[in-house]
Amino acid sequence: MLSNSLIELDRAHLVHPVASYRGHEKLGVRVLKSAKGATVTDMSGHQMIDGFAGLWCVNAGYGHESIVEAAAKQMRELPYATGYFSLGSEAAIRLASELADRSPGDLNHIYFTLGGSDAVDSTVRFIRYYYHSLGTPQKDQFISLEQGYHGSSTVGAGLTALPIFHAGFGLPFDWQHKIPSHYAYRNPVGTDPQAIIASSIAALRAKIEEIGAERVAAFYVEPIQGSGGVLVPPQGWLKAMHEVCKEYDVLLVADEVITGFGRTGPLFACSEDDVIPDFMTTAKGLTSGYVPMGAVFMSDRVYNVIADGAGAAAIGHGYTYSAHPVSAAVGLEVLRLYENGLFENGVKAGARLMAGLHSLADHPLVGDVRGRGMLAAIELVTDKQKKTPLPAAADPSRRIFDRAWDNGLVIRAFGNGVLGYAPPLCCTESEIDAIIERTRMTLDQTLEDPDVRAAMA
């Protein structure tokens, strides 16, 4: 009775993100009730391994009492402190210091936000201010990658290059430009790493020169493209793109909202290519999803130009909940847990996950397996030679998700037949093995889908 009541209340009142409103009303909500470690349980008592860590975010896993206690302690002592008027809290100051100590290069200045989308928005404002301070306000054009994701806010959704975030919203803006993704499995130049890097270099150069280098402000990139289908660039790709940015005096913004905090192995994925960006955005794993928080990392050079440009004037950008003390206290405890075994476990679990997914490559539907650490994907096709995607009639995002759910596994099922994985870093060997076993079961069931069979005939 309670479950039915909640379903009706949800249907009547709660607007869900990135959902078909009418479709959701018809299907109804699945209510999650509890979670521990890497396991989530719904209202009916059905248990599943969360192979996607919520929304790429519960890196530490569920149910850490020390995180709960850190939040409760901060709430008792100081539940809120504004950062306006030169005020602050100890937790936020310490978290900024700890993050700066661990950041690549000279990313020593931390601006806290509520999440990843407003972190991206904040970089746009800071970059505009930076160029105004330099006396070059005409540098106001921004470039990002096709199939990239940089949030769902008005500005960030334009930098995002996924059609669903543009349709009906009048996006992207005319100052937001795109170049092709490095997408190795479907790249026109083939799968050779050096050919892909060369193609991307040529595309970025061409776009900058088309717009005019004197107009281009920044290039936005995820070290691994997440919502575009977990697209992994060749080693050295990010460094090569950074070199082009430096050549044309274009700022590099590394969007590590998904890849940060051990998701790919190291604390930050851009370090794997020895890249020190001008800005870095983070969220998700920053607090392991327990409370909302994001962060913009800003280089010394950029910070000093903005600070000197403003002089005694206030810089008019801020949020009520910037540097929230409870979120900061959680962030500090999460960071402690990461460095006391979770990062190490994540590396081992990530190697096991990738090996397990590669063992599925012989399945008739598996066209590609890709990933790094605890961030991975398999791409399903009906013809391996032609790389034919699953037919739209098979409704991959709904049917595959449903099958996996029934099999005791939560994954990200993209509409094009890509299955995304981002399990908590706390996963045990047996849990990783169960993810693989339940994936194979889901693939076998998908192979029997009449619409899939028809496409393979």
DSSP annotation of 191: S
C-alpha distances in angstroms, 381 versus 280, 378, 400? 35, 10, 13
Position 4 scores a pLDDT of: 79
Instruction: Return d(Cα 370, Cα 378) in angstroms, integer.
Output: 6
pTM: 0.96
> Of 47, 63, 59, which is closest to residue 423 (Cα–Cα)?
59
Position 3 scores a pLDDT of: 67
> Of 245, 215, 200, which is closest to residue 142 (Cα–Cα)?
215
For every residue of 211-250, DSSP letters joined together read: H-TTTEEEEEE-SSBSTTT-BPPPTTHHHHHHHHHHHTT-
Position 457 scores a pLDDT of: 86
Instruction: Return d(Cα 110, Cα 157) in angstroms, integer.
Output: 23
Position 2 scores a pLDDT of: 58
Q: Which residues of the chain carry a pLDDT beneath 70?
A: 1-3
Q: At what angle do helices 396-406 and 429-447 cross, to 10 degrees?
A: 130
Q: What is the CA angle 174-176-179, rounded to 5?
A: 120
Q: Is 297 helix (H, G, I), strand (E, B) or coil?
A: strand
What the block records as the tokens of 95 is: 């978290």
What are the phi and psi torsion angles at 297 (to 5°)? Answer: -95, 130
